Structure 1
Amino acid sequence: MTRPRVVIAGLGDSGLLTAIHLSRHADVVGISTRPGLVSGKELGTRLTQPDEWARDNWIAFDRYRRLDRVRTIHGTLAGVDLAGRCVQVVAADGSALDEPYDVLVISTGVTNGFWRPPGLVSAHEVAASLASDHARLASASSIAVIGGGPAAVSSALNAAVTWPRSRVDLFFPGDRLLPHHHPRAARTLLRRLTELGVGVHPGHRAVVPQGFDCDRITGEPVAWSTGQSPHSADAVLWTIGRVRPNTSWLPPALLDEQGFVVVDPSLRVPGHPGVFAVGDVAATDPLRTSARNRADTLLARNIRASLKGGRLRDYKPRRGQWGSVVGVQPNGLEVFAPNGRAYRFPAWTIRGLLQGLIVRRGMYRGVRD
């Protein structure tokens, strides 16, 4: 009996896990602009501890045991023929490929600042970016972080921990940090930032220079549309949540007004029974939470059910954000529950228990050293 063919467009966190779940049930082809998993998570530790960050967040595809049966293509998506069930790919060597599918999973993610650039990226470019961003901050005597979300808070806190002699300031437009997290979590992290000497400045809305895509660390003074005097720092991190979906290869009929992929509650694209979407690119809810809430497991189950004519289950998003915000610290990893309460994994549990047993064996079903 012929096995169904599943093409997964995008092998970030959600796409990779979906491929792992389906690898024993279908012939899976994964297409990625990255040379392996290059996670967009944990920006603060990526900037301040690049070697440690890379150990857990930049992993070649051939190290995942469950991907041994998956064919991966390093390339960019050029288009899709929905009627003919085929995607067009331009491989890293410039060759053009047509990849037919029975099921298509759209998980191409988003472009979001200097740490999530668009387009094809080589291993050399990933390494160079990690090194140069770290060196830029390490040499700065003053650092300004613009934004009030998780990436901004993580960057400011980790910079203050790593370089205590540097002046770190955090500017954001609202009244409080982390507006989509529980207020208890926001208060906890505000207290930590203050204890570390970070200057916290609410009510500051930055003027984004015309044509600037927040795609690099800058050194020019930052002006404010809210009336404050310009602020100067040696390094300015733009983490303002200017997210752009990687969907230029898709027909506009599949997208909402912001360019995200429209899905029904089962994560299926309406009108196209064999097309699904998951992760930051999927318009599941206002916060697009399917990646953080591990909808990959539900998606894989729904794909298997759809191929057998079974009943699909609905994704039920959470109202707010939760989880780790600042990554692993010297005293361990703190994870915030949806109610804002923090649960800590002690430092001694991180390598063996959390990363070794829970993440690599449990979540990814085995990762080679």
Structure 2
Amino acid sequence: MKQRILIAGFGDTGLLVAINLSKHYDILGVSPKPCLVSGQELGLRLTQPQAWKRDYLMPYERYRKLDGVRTVQGLISAINSDQSTVTITRADGTEMVEPYDALVIASGVTNGFWRDNSLADLATINNQIEAASQQLLAANSAAIIGGGATGVSVAANLAAQHPAKAVHFFYSQEQPLPGYHPRTRAQVTKHLENVGVHLHPQHRAKVESDFSGDRLTTEPVNWSSGQDDFQADITLWALGKVTPNNSFVPADMLNRDGFVKADEFLRVPGYNNIFTVGDIAATDPNRSSARNWGYRLLGHNIRASLQGKPDRMKPYSAPENRWGSIYGVQDPNLPDSGLRVFQPDGGSFRFPRWSVQSLLFPLAVRKMIYKGVRPSLDGETRQEH
């Protein structure tokens, strides 16, 4: 009988963990959604929702390496580490208790209106994506609050795709993208200027303590940094105010900020068969195991652990700076067309637009990283009942 790996959270990272372990293990993935709803590329999701859904809203059945993998739509309500079981509340309200040989906590974070831990069916997900896009695109002027990658992505894509709109981008430092290399920050600032974004550095918004940026607003923005109030038709809040999805995780597994503790091997300290990865894992200040091939290292370490060879486990090493795609794929008629990827050392390289759809996504992403994605799927997205 195959050993059982239970993955709590089946988003971008949990899915990749399953794909890389599915050949040799019995895997159960638990997700509040019936499909992959990626947290990536909010700018594209809002400005080109149909194109975004083609690559980032994906039924699990399309992934060939998930054939034979069970997925349950529901929420984990408890971990019993003594018995090596979890309790799952399914979408229909019923409970089930499932055993594991290894548990992976990859439940991610809630951030704004685009990343949450709520139970939702596919129709609701589609409606939410379309409604937010229509609300933003209907406005003649927009304020984007927050200088991280999400704010940059929205500001850059909105200004580039809709140059007639007045796009105002507010951030608290002199340049956006704290945590990125200075060269990346300078290059991105120049790009924002080139596509017509109105930049407002050193602005810090007044935010009510109970507001997490989970909706678009229309009221004037007030500034604790002393500037005059600002009024736009619509305001998007990309505050980086993330809430870890940790309601089921025992308190001794969490750090003071509510993220899951992780040792150098992506194990939860004190628990030899419980691992963590992704945005919820407190691996480093940037919690960067959601990127940097964290899923692949975790797969290696889980195999070593379950084979009784912990000495073969490898440590996770985080880069000093954040890196990756920031704008997403840009149309040929736009500045910096194609897909630009920024490196930890501040360098960058660009995939031409023609290569993205003909080579990068079908070969590098879908074939090499995801190990095979079916081109289409008939019928409804399957759920475990």
TM-score by length of 1: 0.98
Q: Which amino acid aligns with 2:329?
A: V
The residue aligned with 2:187 is 188
Find the residue that maps to 2:308 and give its secondary structure. coil
**Matched position secondary structure for 2:89:** strand
* Structure 2 counterpart SS, 1:290: helix
- 5+ residue gaps, structure 2, are 332-336, 376-385
Partner residue, 1:39 = 38
1:142 paired to 2:141: yes
Indicate the residue corresponding to 1:320 in structure 2. 321
Mapping of residues 149-160 of structure 1, within 5 Å: 149-160=148-159
Q: Deviations over 1:185-230 (max 9, x none)?
A: 1111111111222111111000113422210011111100011011
Q: CA deviation at 1:118?
A: 2.6
Map 1:111-130 onto structure 2 (within 5 A).
Answer: 111-130=110-129
Question: What amino acid is aligned across from residue 89 of structure 1 in structure 2?
Answer: I
2:355 is aligned with what amino acid? T
Query: Does the CA contact (< 8 Å) of 2:321 and 2:345 recur in 1?
Result: no
In 2, Cα distance between the equivalents of 1:154 and 1:125?
24
Structure 1 residue runs without a partner (length 5+): none
1:53-112 alpha-carbon deviations (Å, 9 max, x no partner): 111111000110000021000111111111011111111111111111010000000001
SS at 2:288's partner residue?
coil
Q: Which residue of 2 aligns with 1:178?
A: 177
Question: Quick one: which amino acid aligns to residue 113 of structure 1?
Answer: G
Where does residue 236 of structure 1 map in the other structure? 235
Distance in 2 separating the partners of 1:117 and 1:19? 21
Q: Distance in 2 between matches of 1:117 and 1:21?
A: 25
Aligned length: 368
Where do residues 73-222 of structure 1 align in structure 2 (5 Å cutoff)? 73-222=72-221
Contact 1:117 1:215 in 2 (8 A): no
User: What amino acid is the match of 2:361?
Assistant: Q
SS at match of 2:289: coil
- Is the 8 Å Cα contact of residues 14 and 294 (structure 1) preserved in structure 2? no
8 Å Cα contact 2:76-2:248 kept in structure 1:
yes
TM-score of the superposition, structure 2-length normalised? Answer: 0.94
Match of 1:348?
Answer: 354
Poorly superposed stretches of 4+, deviation over 6 Å:
none
1:49 counterpart residue number: 48
After superposition, give the CA deviation of every residue in 1:5-55 in whole Å (9 maximum; x if it has no partner). Answer: 000000111100000011011100000111211110101001101011111
Equivalent residue, structure 1, for 2:382? none
Contact 2:36 2:59 in 1 (8 A): yes
CA contact (8 A) 1:74 1:92 kept: yes
CA contact under 8 A between 1:335 and 1:343: conserved in structure 2?
Answer: yes
d(CA) in 2 for partners of 1:284, 1:250: 17
Shift of 1:362: 0.4
Deviation at 1:236, TM superposition (A): 0.4
User: Match of 2:98, SS?
Assistant: strand
Q: 1:336 aligned to 2:371?
A: no
The aligned residue for residue 5 of structure 1 is 4
Separation in structure 2 between the aligned mates of residue 249 and residue 128 of structure 1, nearest angstrom? 28
Structure-1 residue corresponding to 2:381: none
Aligned to 1:62: 61
Distance 2:251 2:119 in 1: 22
Identity %: 47
1:366 is aligned to 2:365? no
| CA distance in structure 2 between the aligned counterparts of 1:202 and 1:161, rounded to whole angstroms | 20
Partners of 1:182 and 1:155 lie apart in 2 by 20
Letter in 1 for 2:47: T
1:177 Cα deviation after fit? 0.9
The alpha carbon displacement at 1:173 in A equals: 0.8
- What is the alpha-carbon root mean square deviation over aligned residues? 0.8
Partner of 1:265: 264
Counterpart Cα distance in 1 of 2:121 and 2:245: 18
Output the CA distance in 1 between the equivalents of 2:209 and 2:74: 31
